[in-house]
Amino acid sequence: MPTNADKPKLNLPVTVHERLLNTLTFLTIACGIVYLLMQWSSLPDRIPIHFNGKGEADGWGSKWTLTALPLIGVVLCAGMALLSRYPHHYNYPVRITMENAARQYLLSRKMLAWVNLALAVTFVWIEWQTVDSANGGSASLGWAFVLFLMAVIFGIMGIYLVRASKLK
């Protein structure tokens, strides 16, 4: 099994596609933060902080708990954006050579950018649903949400694995 030292280190410029995905990711997070700030004064002091499989609130806490969602989103997305700068440290489903390194690295960075966007949308969706529920609306964070999220994340990774195998 090749080590990271065996993989070529390439300085590949960020593509337009990656730039667009990264911009959408950070705009999504920013919109979530702005939305929370706009809704803050209308939130009750006690809000739902956990939902069961049926999408019903079954845990309650302070509205300050909601600040964790954008904070975790920012840290996670910034960390993944930083990680995308080091594709030679990733594990790949194919052997990385000088001939395929650029293609594999770009493909894996795009996959990471798509996953990053999906996670940002997820955090904002959870925030929006929690605020809606706290204000008397009906949240829909049940099993359908979890299954949809898993399908999106694993779908992105599945597409990546198929493409990576074809680009050997």
Residue 46 lies in a domain: yes
Q: What is the predicted pLDDT for the residue at 39?
A: 93
Residue 51 lies in a domain: yes
- DSSP, residue by residue, 66-103: GGHHHHHHHHHHHHHHHHTT-GGGS--SS---TTTHHH
Residue 1 lies in a domain: no
Name the domain count of the chain.
1
Q: Provide the whole-model pTM.
A: 0.83
Q: What is the predicted pLDDT for the residue at 59?
A: 81
Question: Distance between CA atoms of 85 and 115, rounded to whole angstroms?
Answer: 15
> Which own/partner pairs from 163-166 qualify as long-range (CB within 8 Å, at least 24 positions apart)?
163/107, 164/92, 164/93, 164/94, 164/104, 164/107, 164/108, 165/93, 165/94
Q: What is the predicted pLDDT for the residue at 3?
A: 58
**What is the domain range of residue 128?**
12-166
Question: Distance between CA atoms of 93 and 83, rounded to whole angstroms?
Answer: 18
- Mean pLDDT for each 10-residue chunk of the chain (168 residues)? 69 92 94 94 87 76 89 90 89 87 90 92 88 77 77 88 80
Q: What is the predicted pLDDT for the residue at 5?
A: 63
